[in-house]
Amino acid sequence: MNGIMFYLDRDVPLIRGHTIYIDSPWALTSISQAQFWPSFDLEAMGDGRVEGILSVDISEWEREGAVHRKQAMYCSSDEVSEEVWAQLKQALNDAGIGVLEDVNLLSWFLDPSIVYPNPNEASNLEPLLVNTVGSWSDRPDALTSIENLFLVSDYVRTHTDLATMEGANEAARRAVNGILDAAGSSAPRCGVWGLEEPAIFAPARAIDRIRFQLGRPATQAVRIREGRTDASPLLRTTAPVAERLARVRG
């Protein structure tokens, strides 16, 4: 997973949050930036033409694109830009409404971590971190035994056992509190909250935990996949999600 930014002559807010392009060949997600920084004057930067920034994550680098018919990892920077822009337009420009227009695109910036050791293959110097089973207890805390060293990243041990922006944000809060403590500051401390999971998933998690400890398969999930009528109505709703979470965890 890595990103590209498109600089726009006219801001295109899309939605107030992340957009998932569920059927895009390269598994794209995006967020329109300007709406979240109302006090920042984009026009005061660069040549003054930029009014909007569309940040895009590319998650699938091994699937063929629709324009160049090449995997992302074999595309040049220009080809990556052209392909991503085309996939965004295909997803957004529905019913003849031009949400994204070529004339509105001023420039783009591909993460410099995408490098090309040879003309035919790209490498990602900052691959996505995926925590492995049992690694939580081995990861470092934001506060270390070195009095002036604090760690802020999504690999730090937090309430969120997953590499996410939320986990990195919690690590930052813990680090800031450590800095304030070390400095003897009387400033208010950052809030740190535990991870809350929807209660509706609790039965599925409990059953999954018991069956896992007994070394048995997720029978309810199998029944649901087979369309059997003896599957629990509640687990018919929650088990698919619980099963995916279990696969992520282990």
pLDDT at 201 over 50: yes
Residue 44: exposure state from Cβ atoms within 10 A (0-12, 13-18, ≥19): exposed
Can you give the pLDDT at residue 94?
Answer: 74
Q: What is the mean pLDDT of residues 126-133?
A: 78
| Least confident interval from 13-17, 64-68, 80-84, 242-246 | 242-246
Query: pLDDT band for position 248 (50/70/90)?
Result: very low
Report percent pLDDT > 90 for the chain.
33
Is a pLDDT exceeding 80 seen at residue 46?
Answer: yes
Q: For a pLDDT cut of 70, what percent of the chain falls above it?
A: 83
Instruction: Give the domain 2-124 fold.
Output: D-Amino Acid Oxidase; Chain A, domain 2 (3.30.9)
Spell out the SS3 assignment of the chain.
Answer: CEEEEEEECCCCCCCCCEEECCCCCCCEEEEECHHHCCCCCHHHCCCCCCCEEEEEEECCCCCECCCCCCEHHHCCHHHHHHHHHHHHHHHHCHHHCCCCCHHHEEEEEECCCEEEEECCEEEECCCCCCCCCCCHHHCCCCECCCCCCECCCCCCCCCCCCCCHHHHHHHHHHHHHHHHHHHCCCCCCCCCCCCCCCHHHHHHHHHHHHHHHCCCCCHHHHHHHCCCCCCCHHHHHHHHHHHHHHHHHC
Q: What is the pLDDT of residues 66-121, one digit of tens each?
A: 888 888 888 888 999 999 999 999 888 875 556 888 999 999 999 988 887 656 66
Instruction: Give residue-wise pLDDT tens across range 139-164.
Output: 999 999 998 999 998 889 999 887 78
User: pTM above 0.85?
Assistant: no
Which residues, in sequence order, are CB contacts of 232 under 8 Å at separation 6+? Answer: 220, 239
Is the pLDDT at 250 greater than 50? The verdict is: no
Higher pLDDT, 138 or 217: 138
Q: Of 239, 217, 243, 220, give the one whose Cα is nearest residue 231.
A: 220
Residue 247: is its pLDDT beyond 60?
A: no
Q: How high is the mean pLDDT of the chain?
A: 83
Q: Take residue 232 and report the two structure tokens written for it.
A: 């629990």
Q: Where are the domains positioned within the chain?
A: 2-124, 136-183, 199-249
Give the model confidence (pLDDT) of 210-237 as tens digits.
Answer: 888 888 776 555 555 555 544 455 444 5
